């Protein structure tokens, strides 16, 4: 049995294991094992992400090991990472001549090659991505999919452009791509421009996607960085302009980790376990025959006919010996979106009982009406319901705050506080919680009716978020 | 321009770069960058491998980092790897309490979890696989895809069974699976049982797939290990038998690395570059319009109609400004299996000129006859031709040797020597070359008419291979 989702931390810890996403018993802190079911979910979610990127990015793979000299080259960058880098110092029984870092992220591995690849303006824009494992020596509390020492599924994209403006255009493209990705998972998000002190080390600025977890803490689920020509200068990445001059490229990079799966599990799940959108569910449909002595044949026959018809989907016909109740429990835990039950009455009437993972009700439909088109329609409707419910629940953890006491109180009670601040005062808000930064784009489901005056000094302000974060 | 393939080592070095498989300029020995075209080839080849494994294995992902104590637990295993393991000793600026190994292979990461997963005979057989990066501190000469410090694409499968015999059955299943895989790539192989001194560290025995590279050296492209209960005893992996007793499981593991792609490139390639089987070619078809002034419109129209019709394939319509000859050169280098040329005469006659990457001839076909079915048929025929040619070329590097002088001479001249040896004398053959072991299964294309007497002592022998190896 799962703890209720209202005890979110315990629920999360248990659902990861009981739904067979990961085995958390690997004997090193912050490292976990992807179980087959979890791995399949990962694959389906990342297929969606790849599909979006493949429209105009090329997939590559760079080495995991980065020599010390390269990693250290960009001074701001390394200052941001030096406490978290794992160092390989020995090969076999011998010390290495050159220390090698396990990539915490791949800018310093990729950009020396960009220098070799980019010659002229015709080589631009250059857009590549890779999905790789990256490593962080986390000293804080670790948690599966959320805070890891090996991030096994880091999708990082890297682009190079002719100038600041074209790179900025790409920042917008990347933001739109991530919006499309999270919309496809029915995950609500807010988009902020991070304050300067919290931007990616080496970036000009950072745009971040945050969602709100059921306990009211925000989870950063994607970041897009405008790098300007900061790395280009460090790694000497120049191109020949149409006029024959030489100029530094301007770059962007943007990443999503398996936190996208943490959010999927956390936002949609309920007291019974996972609730998954149809498109990414490892098992989309389960058919459960309800057998009574003497009536088995007809029930099994109709069940098998349904199974055959739905084979284009990821469908299971659960013929095991368990009681129906135990089967419901098991497949609910795994978030199977659509369940069919077929008993003697259904067999007799040529119908099936349908229920959806997110609803309590069951209903009967004529067997012949269960077509693949109908199933797709049910899948789409389910996602729409999940999206509405998710927005409802996220919105319920956000408070619009008119003064600083409200901000303090909101964050204290684990709500996300939206309020107005200004460049001068933003930093002071850090004493109340983490400042998420200036809202980059207001989601339509957030309605803010406030004066735009900074909550601290009363000067002209902009909308910012303050929260406890993961 | 490529060096001729007869200068194999130089040819290989160049074709990897010019065909854009990898960039070899990454500034650490033995680490390379997968370029987009190479990465796509990798993905297509590994999709095939995954498809075969997914029939009855489950995909998982285990951590990259293995604590020292686990890696050291199986004494033979660690003796086999201790010179090649990369050690992570520092996290940030601090030394780690426990040294972490970068997995050289994952037995010691996976089997402690098998101990937790396996309770009863009902949990067996257990079959999992993962495709991961593994690391070896290679001190020898490194080479892209062949001898690496980061093997980026190691497919390793691990299984557990009730007893020795059932594990042995799985060894045969794995051998058949690898045969099917390499047959699908038209790569000829020989299968040997490795001599005891060359088996996988910790295994009961090792079955290996070897192909013969154009320079006459053998390349090990897959291994299957019977582990008996060796690791089960070390990691205490027991199950409850139907009788209620407890017994150790018996295990197998088997692996294929990106050497499968090295063999694909090396065996099929020619003086012009890559030659790829249709199924795994990143670009399967190229359409080249031959434009003459005033006739552009009709040519482009027919070219586009062909492109639209062939869109289910990975097809390119090369509309660039280059001369046709330059286009031929470029797509030949990349191994595109099928090329269509359409000029004014073709446009007028409603036909297209077809040529295949492995043949010199061109021929015309009626436009309407170029259907997807026809293209599949051409693809199948091309693979059959590649297979025949590959067998021919591999067979040309194998000599059947009747006495020890012939063995010495054959290996000296970079041929694979097949001869008879016995348990007593096999080790002595090592002074002539690497002993590949007893032939496990004789390919139909090798005909050996020899007495089965050991070439050294004249006693009862078995067929063995001796060669220079990669």
Nearest beta carbon to residue A85 from set B40, B92, B102: B92
Please, what's the largest Cα pairwise distance for chain B?
86
Asked if B80 is an interface residue toward chain A (Cβ–Cβ < 8 A), one would say no
Distance CA A81, CA A96 (A): 22
Please tell me what DSSP assigns to residue B279.
G
The reply to whether omega before A235 is within 30° of 0 (cis) is no
Contact partners, residue B275, CB within 8 Å, separation at least 6: B268, B269, B335, B337, B357, B358, B386
Q: Across the strands, what pairs with A61? A: B34
Q: DSSP for B151-206?
A: EEEEEEEEEEESSHHHHHHHHHHHHHHHHHHHHHTT---EEEE--GGGS-TT-SEE
pLDDT at residue B98, as a whole number? 95
Hey, is the C-beta of A115 within 8 angstroms of any chain B C-beta? no
- Residues of B with CB below 8 A from A93's CB? 82-83
Residue whose token pair is 């995909």: B59
Query: Are B100 and A86 in contact (CB < 8 Å)?
Result: yes
Shortest Cα distance, chain A CAs vs residue B41, angstroms: 11
Which residue of chain B is at minimal alpha-carbon distance from A127? Answer: B36
The Cα B365–Cα A227 span in angstroms is 53
Backbone Cα Rg of chain A: 25
CB-based contact A61 B100, cutoff 8 Å: no
Q: Given an 8 Å threshold on Cβ–Cβ distance, is A59 in contact with B70?
A: no
Cα-to-chain-centroid distance, residue A222: 7
Q: Which residue among B34, B85, B93 places its CB closest to the CB of A83?
A: B93
CA dihedral B51→B237→A1→A33, nearest 10 degrees, is -50
pLDDT of residue B226: 98
Residue of chain A minimizing CA distance to B102: A88
Residue A97 has what pLDDT?
94
Query: Is there a contact between B142 and B29 (Cβ–Cβ < 8 Å)?
Result: yes
Q: Where are the beta strands (DSSP E) in B241-318?
A: 246-248, 250-256, 285-289, 315-317
Q: Dihedrals φ, ψ of B248, to 5°? A: -75, 145
Contact A186, A388 (CB under 8 A): no
Give average pLDDT by consecutive 10-residue segment, chain A, 470 residues: 96 98 96 98 98 98 97 89 95 95 97 98 98 96 96 98 98 98 98 97 97 98 98 98 97 98 98 98 98 91 97 97 95 98 96 96 97 97 98 96 96 97 96 97 88 93 97
Report the 10 Å Cβ neighbour count for A318: 19
Interface subset of A 15-34, CB within 8 angstroms of B: 23, 25-28, 31-34
**The pLDDT value given to residue A449:** 80
What are the two backbone dihedrals, phi and then psi, of residue A233, each rounded to the nearest 5 degrees? -70, -40
Number of H-type helices and E-type strands within chain B: 13, 23
Coil vs helix vs strand at B327: helix
- Report pLDDT for A55: 98
Enclosing H/E stretch for B23:
strand B22-23
User: What's the Cα-to-Cα distance from B97 to each of A29, A251, A451, B264, rounded to whole Å?
Assistant: 12, 39, 54, 44
Distance separating alpha carbons of residues A225 and B215, to the nearest angstrom: 49
φ, ψ for residue A318, nearest 5 deg = -85, 95
**Are B113 and A23 inside 8 Å of each other by CB?**
yes
The predicted structure's pLDDT at residue B294: 85
**Which residues of chain B are within 8 Å of residue A158 when distances are taken between CB atoms?**
none
Vertex A219, ends A215 and A223: CA angle to 5°? Answer: 170
Q: Which two tokens stand for residue A427?
A: 């930093």
DSSP state of B368: G
- A–B interface: beta-carbon pairs under 8 A: 151
Phi, psi of B285 (to 5 degrees): -140, 135
Chain CA centroid to CA A427, Å: 27
Q: Tokens at residue B435, please?
A: 């002993």
Q: Does the beta-carbon distance from A113 to B26 stay under 8 Å?
A: yes
Q: How is residue A310 written in tokens?
A: 């739905």
**CB-based contact A39 B27, cutoff 8 Å:** no
Q: Is the dihedral of CA A49, A50, A55, A56 positive or negative?
A: positive
Q: Residue B124 in 3-state DSSP?
A: coil
A116 contact residues in B (CB cutoff 8 A): 23, 25
pLDDT number for residue B75: 85
What would the two tokens of residue A243 be?
């006029």
Task: Return the residue in A60, A138, A235 with the most chain B beta carbons within 10 A, the one to mutate for interface testing.
Answer: A60
pTM: 0.96
Name every residue whose Cβ is closer than 8 Å to that of residue A422 and which is 6 or more positions away in sequence. A454, A456, A457, A459, A460, A461, A462
Query: Which residues in chain A are contacts of B102 at CB distance < 8 A?
Result: 88, 102
- For residue A98, which residues of chain B lie inside 8 Å, CB to CB? 28
CB of A60 within 8 Å of any CB in chain B? yes
The three state secondary structure string of chain A is: CCCCCCCHHHHHHHHHHHCCCEECCCCCCCCCEECHHHHHHHHHHHHHHHHHHCCCCEECECCCEEEHHHHCCCHHHHHHHCCCCEEEEEECCEEEEEEEEECCCCHHHHHHHHHHHCCEHHHCCEEEEEEEEEECCCCCCCECCCECCEEEEEEEEEEEECCHHHHHHHHHHHHHHHHHHHHHCCCCCEEEECCHHHCCCCCCEEEEEEEECCCCCEEEEEEEEEEECHHHHHHCCEEECCCCCEEECEEEEEEECCHHHHHHHHHHCECCECCCCHHHCCCCEEEEECCCCCCHHHHHHHHHHHHHHCCCCCEEECCCCCCHHHHHHHHHHCCCCEEEEECHHHHHHCEEEEEECCCCCEEEEEHHHCCHHHHHHHHHHHHHHHHHHHHHHHHCCEEECCCHHHHHHHHHCCCEEEEEECCCCHHHHHHCCEEEEEEEECCCCCCCCCCCECCCCCCECEEEEEECEC
R_g (Cα) of chain B, nearest Å: 25
Per-residue confidence (pLDDT) for residue B102, from 0 to 100: 98
Residues of chain B with pLDDT under 70: none
């Amino acid at each position: 049995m799962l703890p209720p989702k209202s005890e979110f931390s315990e629920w999360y810890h248990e659902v990861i294991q009981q739904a067979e996403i990961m085995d958390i018993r690997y004997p090193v802190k912050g490292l976990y094992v992807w179980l087959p079911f979890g791995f399949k979910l990962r694959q389906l979610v990342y297929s969606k992400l790849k599909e979006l990127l493949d429209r105009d990015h090329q997939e590559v793979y760079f080495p995991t090991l980065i020599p010390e000299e390269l990693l250290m080259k960009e001074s701001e960058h390394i200052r941001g990472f030096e406490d978290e880098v794992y160092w390989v110092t020995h090969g076999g029984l011998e010390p290495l001549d050159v220390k090698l870092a396990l990539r915490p992220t791949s800018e310093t591995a990729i950009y020396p090659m960009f220098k070799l690849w980019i010659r002229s303006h015709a080589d631009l824009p250059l857009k590549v991505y890779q999905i790789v494992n990256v490593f962080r020596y986390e000293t804080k509390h670790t948690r599966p999919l959320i805070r890891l020492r090996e991030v096994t599924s880091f999708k990082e994209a890297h682009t190079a452009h002719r100038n600041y403006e074209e790179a900025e255009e790409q920042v917008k493209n990347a933001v739109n791509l991530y919006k499309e990705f999270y919309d496809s998972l029915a995950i609500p998000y807010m988009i902020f421009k991070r304050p300067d002190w919290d931007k990616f080390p080496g970036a000009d600025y950072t745009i971040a996607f945050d969602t709100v977890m059921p306990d009211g803490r925000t989870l950063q689920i994607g970041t897009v960085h405008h790098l300007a020509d900061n790395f280009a200068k460090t790694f000497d990445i120049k191109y020949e302009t149409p006029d024959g001059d030489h100029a530094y490229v301007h770059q962007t990079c943007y990443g999503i980790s398996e936190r996208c799966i943490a959010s999927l599990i956390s936002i949609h799940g309920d007291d019974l376990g996972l609730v998954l959108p149809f498109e990414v569910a490892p098992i989309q449909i389960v058919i459960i025959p309800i057998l009574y002595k003497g009536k088995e044949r007809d029930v099994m026959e109709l069940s098998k006919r349904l199974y055959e018809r739905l084979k284009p989907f990821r469908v299971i016909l659960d013929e095991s010996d368990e009681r129906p109740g135990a089967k419901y429990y098991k497949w609910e835990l795994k978030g199977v979106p659509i369940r069919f039950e077929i008993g003697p009455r259904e067999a007799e009437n040529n119908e099936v009982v349908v229920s959806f993972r997110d609803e309590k009700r069951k209903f009967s439909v004529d067997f012949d009406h269960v077509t693949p088109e109908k199933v797709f329609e049910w899948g789409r409707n389910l996602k729409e319901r999940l999206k509405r419910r998710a927005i409802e629940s996220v919105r319920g953890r956000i408070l619009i705050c008119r003064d600083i006491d409200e901000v303090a109180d909101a964050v204290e009670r684990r709500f996300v506080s939206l309020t107005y601040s200004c460049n001068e005062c933003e930093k002071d808000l850090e004493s109340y919680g983490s400042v998420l930064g200036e809202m980059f784009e207001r989601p339509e489901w957030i309605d803010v009716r406030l004066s735009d005056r900074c909550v601290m000094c009363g000067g002209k302000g902009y909308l910012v978020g303050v929260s406890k974060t993961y």
